[in-house]
Amino acid sequence: MHEAREQVLIRCRKLGQLSAKSIRHVHRHQFDEASSLLREAQAEAAAVRELLSSHPTLNPSYLHDTEKEMVEAACVLAIALDQPLPASAELGSQTMAYLHGACEAASEVRRFVLDLIREGKMPEAERILSQMDAIYEELVTFDFPDSLTNGLRRAVDALRAVLERTRSDLTLTLSQQNLIAELRRGRE
């Protein structure tokens, strides 16, 4: 059991590292690399779940945080590529890890939106903001005690703040672009 616990800890650490690298590759628009790292992360998660199922006395919370990172990576990639979010069953994740991971993904793609704004790709930025909104609207319906959701309410409240800042940044940029266009038309 001690050896299994050590393997779980090592594999969870690797799972977290692979997930973080996948997200970094998404932000660099290196989607093939991000997908490859995500597949590796999913294999690590499956190996951890197998170890945990062989030793039911081991604490499954070892997996929760790193599995959440894997879900976040999968959702960030899906949002960036304008694909449907993967289902919890597709990723093999625990329900709470999935919900927390989706919540963090919605916050993480703010960076992607800001990059798109700087590049002048406003329709794409609006699309991602819409997806952030959709995730928030789903998560806000999980109105259960924190003891059941591992603090999901706080995470969703934090997402709301990120969402509002992102909406504000996008709205301000669009308003400025409209004002500049009006000023240019006025000169003609």
Six token digits for residue 74: 């999968």
Domains delineated in the chain: 2-187 (1.20.58.2140)
3-state DSSP helix/strand/coil percent for the chain, to nearest 5?
A: 85, 0, 15
Rounded to two decimals, what is the model's pTM? Answer: 0.89
Contact of 16 with 44, CB cutoff 8 Å = no
pLDDT, tens digit, for every residue of 106-122?
999 999 999 999 999 99
Q: What is the pLDDT averaged over residues 11-32?
A: 95
At residue 188, does pLDDT exceed 80? no
Say yes or no to pLDDT of 38 above 80. Answer: yes
Band of pLDDT at residue 2, cut at 50, 70 and 90: confident
Rounded CA-CA distance 146/140 in Å is 13
Give the model's pLDDT for residue 137: 96
pLDDT score recorded for residue 56:
78
Summarize pLDDT for 78-89 with one digit per residue, the tens.
999 999 999 999
With the CA atoms of 12, 112, 31 and 95 taken in that order, what torsion angle do they form, in degrees rounded to the nearest 10? 40
The stretch 94-107 carries a mean pLDDT of 95
What is the predicted pLDDT for the residue at 179?
87
CA distance 43 to 126: 34
Q: Please state, for a pLDDT cut of 70, what percent of the chain lies above it.
A: 99
Tens digit of each residue's pLDDT (9 = 90 or more) over 132-148: 999 999 999 988 887 77
Average pLDDT, the chain: 92
Portion of the chain with pLDDT greater than 90, in percent:
71
Residue 58 confidence (pLDDT) above 80: no
